[in-house]
Amino acid sequence: MRRCRRLPAGIAATLLSTPLLGGCDRAPSTLDPAGPKSDFTTWAWWGLFAAAAFVCCLIIGLTVLAAIFRRRSTKVKTGDGRRFVLVFGVILPAIVFASVFALGVGGLVAQSEPPSKPAMTVDVIGHQWWWEFRYEGTDAVTANYLHVPVGTPVELRLRTHDVIHSFWIPQVMPKMDLLPKRINKTWLSVDRRGTYQGECAEYCGAQHAHMDFALVAQSHASFQAWLQREQRAAAPPTTDAERSGMQFFTSASCSTCHTIRGTSADGKLGPDLTHVGSRPMLAAGLIPNDVGHMSGWIANSQAVKPGNLMPPQHLTPSDLRDVVAYLQSLK
Amino acid sequence: MTQLTPPRTTGERSGEDLDTLSTVAGSLEARTRYDVLPERGAAEATVGARLDEEWAEEPGFWGFITTVNHKRIGRRYLVTAAVFFMFAGINALVIRTQLAQPNNHVVGPEIYDQLFSMHGMVMIFFFATPFNSGFGNFFLPIMIGTRDMAFPRVNALSYWIFLFSGIFIFSSEAMRSAPDFGWFAYVPLSNEYSPALNADFYSLGLLFLAVSSTIGSMNFIVTFLKMRAPGMSLNRVPLFVWGILTQSFMLVFALPPLDLANLMLFLDRRLGMRFFDSAKGGDAVLWQHLFWLFGHPDVYIIVLPAMGIISSIVPVFSRRSILAYPYVVLATVATGIISFGVWVHHMFAVGLSDVSLTFFSAATLTISVPAGIQMLAWIGTMWRGHVVLNPAMLYAMSFIITFVMGGVTGVMFAVVPFDQQVTDSYFVVAHFHYVLFGGAVLPLLGGLFYWWPKMTGRMTSHAGGVISCVLVFVGMNLTFFPMHIQGLLGMPRRIYTYPAGYGWGTYNLIETIGAYILAFGFLWTLFVFVQSLLSGPHAPDDPWGANTLEWATGSPPKAYNFPVAPTVHSLNPLWDGRTLQSMVDHRHDPQRTMTDHHQALRTSELDARIERVMTMPGETPQPLLVAMFLTMTVCFLLADIMLAAAVSFGLMGLVIGWWMWSRPEIDEPAP
């Protein structure tokens, strides 16, 4: 998620997203769209920008020029100027605003329904501060990684477990809030393969800054393969360390919050860890998923992401090593 | 001052009211040379001594706490709000320092969240609105030619409550339990998920402040309706006064939803009610509706008086009457009304029905029209006048430039899918800072430079003011313009840190540099004003050759403002040659000089015909006592000591009873 991605981008988008200092930075730019919804907002932006730039230049120009030219002239003109104000302050703006309104309603209508029947439905559940994705009609449950097939609409049902969050993938779809006791339905569609940055866009507490997710858009075949794998129960441990890690996980407090399908761990508070080893990042995009970071997270996640729900775990070094080995094996 | 040249009237004078330039009283430039305007001088010579005696104030500390003089209260409002502005600005500087680099560790999330919440709350509630009230308090009575506000004691009460509620809210920051859920405090984050005192400070603090704003607004409305100088019919009311009037009406109607929301939040939290708790049948979205039903009008509550300041400055320094005065008035009032119908555009991403989104999209576009009218009226006034540049006018021009930039992005938010794309990103942060900084702070600074001589009797340095405007303008644009790009690049607002590698760092660094330039600009501005107080040249009555009645008083005005109530003959009373003369003509008329007690004229609502002479109350400690008992009530409610809260509230009721008992005698005039 944090790596540079090579994506084709429009010239303007490249100009905007290229920082002045160079480097291989890649912003999740709304002007580098990868789906029909963001396509629309990108075009809307450039149209609105052109109109806005024109109006600004006009008004600023008139103001500055007035100050320059009317300083010299001591001839004050009388007259009320009502016609001037009426034409330029009411009639011309009304025409512009009517077109803006048409643009907005057009966009709203175009985006209210997906262009074709959605391939599937995903439940998106916001938590402080991570994302849960449940694929309807399957057993697949993931955290912070939303996989979708490219080129077909996917229906989303958004809800929250706690406070209000907002689901935003700048390159793919505008925001939609996750509200308590309500389900907001929306859809997204991705045009080209890749991994896109998703963010929580409604302030949701101390770690609002660290509530990212990744949208992984795959070809149909590789998506199906992923979904098949994701539905399976956890792989049984193969080494002694993994076996003892699993033993520890299911008997210690881990299982009160986390689920690993196929074992007795069935907690609901934290992310489903059935395939945690296959996720590149941990803690909603904050740290890479490797042995070192995962050990640190388990030992004291409060040092990494203060305020998150997981308390520090006091494991012996060997227990910690075994548990991490087991979790890493869950591909 | 050497730049001021006499206006010349070309063509015919089109009617008495609307477009009159002085051809009678000689050149405006000549007037700026009088230390005391001859007309006021003549009036003061006749009755000034008696009025001085009648309106003399208690000196010392007792006088300080008992005063009901609207000018002293207005000055206090300005100073207090400026101090709050400074604190909230320091919060913003820490925010910008934290964001200067990716993965920065200047402050942690707990502190950062309190900083941005307090920054927003204080700037909106404890700076922008009260600062406008400060100007309103000082200038509304003297712009409409009267001697005091309609309810002088209520005026003092409204100030004391504002001061104490500000201290209350800042004490939360000192205790490190300031609101930390953003200035709009969405439930459930501010409710079930905020177990400490933070949200109680929020709800009680805003309820507390709302008392001040509500009574203050009512005072403005009644003063406007009943105390305008004879002859100041509605079509001769200065535009700043229209701005304050519209703001006051809006506050009276917009605050109840906010008060209700805060009361419900307090009851939810303390008495286990469940207005907003969805798990128990409440509704979290209800908070958003109630909040924004206040919140959007509040934008205009802040901006309309500020636009009124621009409408005061631009004609004076264009040496002609404002263009299309009736349209500007209608635009002001229309903005106030339409602003109650646009709140849902803050909630476009909530998932409401498309039909309602369409309606609010249309309303959002509609409200841009009145703003355009005012914009064109100012520009047209400049083009048809003779522009004189000085700090006040430069600030007015900076306002026009930045406000149009905030305006065009505001129009973009009417396009629902685009709004959903950029809302809650830095794009919206850029937008509302252009609207609120450009639309309120710049005009308020312009107003300070414009009215400073009247308030203090000292002129400010011309060069110092120009430098102040340049620094603030450059700093402001450097701080807020890159935020547009940053938002389009996908940076959400309210994140306390961000990773490297997204290309956000450069823009953030530029903004932080801009913020420090801006801070330096404010320090410089403060220096200019302090220097003026210490050693600025004395200001004449009318240093700018201005058009409205406040410039017919002394600099600073006497306690009684006008020795003789003038008869207003036009929209630009100081330019018509007759209004000033009326002070001379009526200087032996007891109904106009009112030398018996603290007295002021009561006039009719529409045409400002004289109805009677009213006796106004004088100095009293009652307002301070009421405010102190109210403060105690609020503090005990916060500490959850209900019995003590009830006792304080009862004591407050007793003082109010005493207040009601000791109403001044009202002289019934002979018919």
Please write down the HEC assignment for all residues of B142-174. Answer: HHCCCCCCCCHHHHHHHHHHHHHHHHHHHHHHH
Q: Do B9 and A78 touch (CB under 8 A)?
A: yes
Are A153 and A144 in contact by the 8 Å Cβ rule? The answer is no
Q: How many domains does chain A have?
A: 1
CA angle B453, B457, B461 (to 5 degrees): 50
Does residue A205 lie in a domain region? no
Does residue A206 lie in a domain region? no
Q: What angle do helix axes B462-488 and B505-535 make, rounded to 10 degrees?
A: 160
The one-letter code for the residue type at B326 is P
Q: Hey, which residues 4-43 in chain B have their CB within 8 Å of chain A? A: 5, 7-14, 18-19, 21
Does residue A289 lie in a domain region? yes
What percent of chain A is modeled with pLDDT above 90?
75
* Domain containing residue A282: CATH number: 2.60.40.420
Does residue A265 lie in a domain region? yes
pLDDT on residue A88: 87
Written as six digits, the tokens of B346 are: 């803050």
Residue numbers of chain B with a pLDDT score lower than 70: 1-30, 663-671
* Mean pLDDT, rounded, of chain A: 88
Rounded to 5 degrees, φ, ψ at B273 are -80, 175
CA distances from B581 to B142, B231, B556, B590 (A): 17, 14, 21, 17
Contacts of B5 in chain A (CB under 8 A): 74
Nearest to A76 by CA among B397, B21, B26: B21
- Cβ partners under 8 Å of residue B501, min gap 6: A2, A4, A23, A24, A25, A26, B102
Interface test with B, best of A58, A72, A73, A100 (most B CBs within 10 A): A100
Nearest to A129 by CA among A187, A216, A213: A213
Asked if A39 is an interface residue toward chain B (Cβ–Cβ < 8 A), one would say: no
Paired strand residues for A53: none
Q: How far is residue B623's CA from residue B212's CA, in Å, rounded to a whole number?
A: 11
Written as six digits, the tokens of B552 are: 């017919």
Are B627 and B215 in contact by the 8 Å Cβ rule? The answer is no
- Select the residue of A28, A41, A174 nearest B502 (Cβ to Cβ): A28
Nearest to B159 by CA among B199, B190, B121, B131: B131
Q: Do A162 and B188 touch (CB under 8 A)?
A: yes
pLDDT on residue B89: 96
User: How are strands ordered across the β-sheet holding A165-169?
Assistant: A145-149, A212-218, A194-200, A165-169, A173-178
Q: Are strands A287-288 and A281-282 parallel, antiparallel or unpaired?
A: antiparallel
Domain housing A283:
240-329
DSSP assignment letter at B453: H
Does residue A20 lie in a domain region? no
> pTM (2 decimals)?
0.92
Q: How many helices (H) and strands (E) does chain B have?
A: 24, 3
- For residue B188, whether the previous peptide bond is cis, meaning omega lies within 30 degrees of 0, is yes
Q: How far is residue B107's CA from residue B98's CA, in Å, rounded to a whole number?
A: 6
Does residue A193 lie in a domain region? no
pLDDT on residue A13: 45
pLDDT on residue B32: 75
Residue in chain A lying closest to B388 (CA): A71
Does residue A38 lie in a domain region? no
Q: Do A163 and B357 touch (CB under 8 A)?
A: no
Q: How far is residue B35's CA from residue B542's CA, in Å, rounded to a whole number?
A: 8
Interface test with B, best of A24, A77, A207 (most B CBs within 10 A): A77
ipTM of the prediction: 0.91
Does residue A125 lie in a domain region? no
- Select the residue of B188, B327, B382 nearest A70 (Cβ to Cβ): B382
Q: Hey, which residues 64-83 in chain A have their CB within 8 Å of chain B? A: 64, 66-67, 70-71, 73-82
DSSP assignment letter at B575: T
Are A265 and A233 in contact by the 8 Å Cβ rule? The answer is no
pLDDT on residue A23: 41
CA angle B67, B309, B379 (to 5 degrees): 170
Q: How far is residue A322's CA from residue A326's CA, in Å, rounded to a whole number?
A: 6
DSSP string, B195-222: -SSHHHHHHHHHHHHHHHHHHHHHHHHH
Residue in chain A lying closest to B280 (CA): A181
Nearest-CA distance A244 → chain B (Å): 36
Residue in chain A lying closest to B500 (CA): A25
Counted across chains A and B, CB pairs separated by less than 8 A come out at: 326
Written as six digits, the tokens of B74 are: 């207005």
Contacts of A21 in chain B (CB under 8 A): 505-506
CA distances from B428 to B133, B303, B346, B537, B669 (A): 27, 17, 10, 44, 57
Q: How far is residue A20's CA from residue A24's CA, in Å, rounded to a whole number?
A: 12
Q: Hey, which residues 282-311 in chain A have their CB within 8 Å of chain B? A: 306-307
Indicate the SS3 state at residue A74: coil
Q: Are strands A120-127 and A154-160 parallel, antiparallel or unpaired?
A: parallel
Interface test with B, best of A202, A213, A286 (most B CBs within 10 A): A202
Residues A8-37, mean pLDDT to the nearest whole number? 62
| Length of chain A, in residues | 331
Contacts of A168 in chain B (CB under 8 A): 424, 492
Contacts of A44 in chain B (CB under 8 A): 415, 417-418
Residue carrying the six token digits 């070309």: B10
DSSP string, B40-52: HHHHIIIIIHHHH
Q: Hey, which residues 329-388 in chain B have their CB within 8 Å of chain A? A: 349-351, 354, 357-358, 361-362, 365-366, 368-369, 372-377, 379-388
Indicate the SS3 state at residue A205: coil
Contacts of B351 in chain A (CB under 8 A): 158, 176-177, 179, 182, 184, 186
Q: How far is residue B657's CA from residue A82's CA, in Å, rounded to a whole number?
A: 52
Q: Do B284 and A181 touch (CB under 8 A)?
A: yes
Q: Where are the alpha helices (DSSP H) in chain A?
A: 11-17, 36-72, 82-86, 92-112, 220-231, 240-251, 254-257, 291-304, 317-329
Q: How far is residue A103's CA from residue B417's CA, in Å, rounded to a whole number?
A: 10
Element at B499 (helix H, strand E): none
Indicate the SS3 state at residue B560: coil
pLDDT on residue B20: 41
Nearest-CA distance A190 → chain B (Å): 16
Nearest to B617 by CA among B217, B220, B153: B153
CA dihedral A257, A261, A263, A268 (to 10 degrees): 20
Q: How many helices (H) and strands (E) does chain A have?
A: 9, 13
Asked if B286 is an interface residue toward chain A (Cβ–Cβ < 8 A), one would say: no
Are B498 and A209 in contact by the 8 Å Cβ rule? The answer is yes
Residue carrying the six token digits 């109006």: A55
Q: Hey, which residues 112-131 in chain A have their CB within 8 Å of chain B? A: 112, 128
Instruction: Band the pLDDT of A77: cuts 50, 70, 90.
Output: confident
Chain centroid to CA B543: 24
Q: Do B506 and A26 touch (CB under 8 A)?
A: no
Q: Do A177 and B350 touch (CB under 8 A)?
A: yes
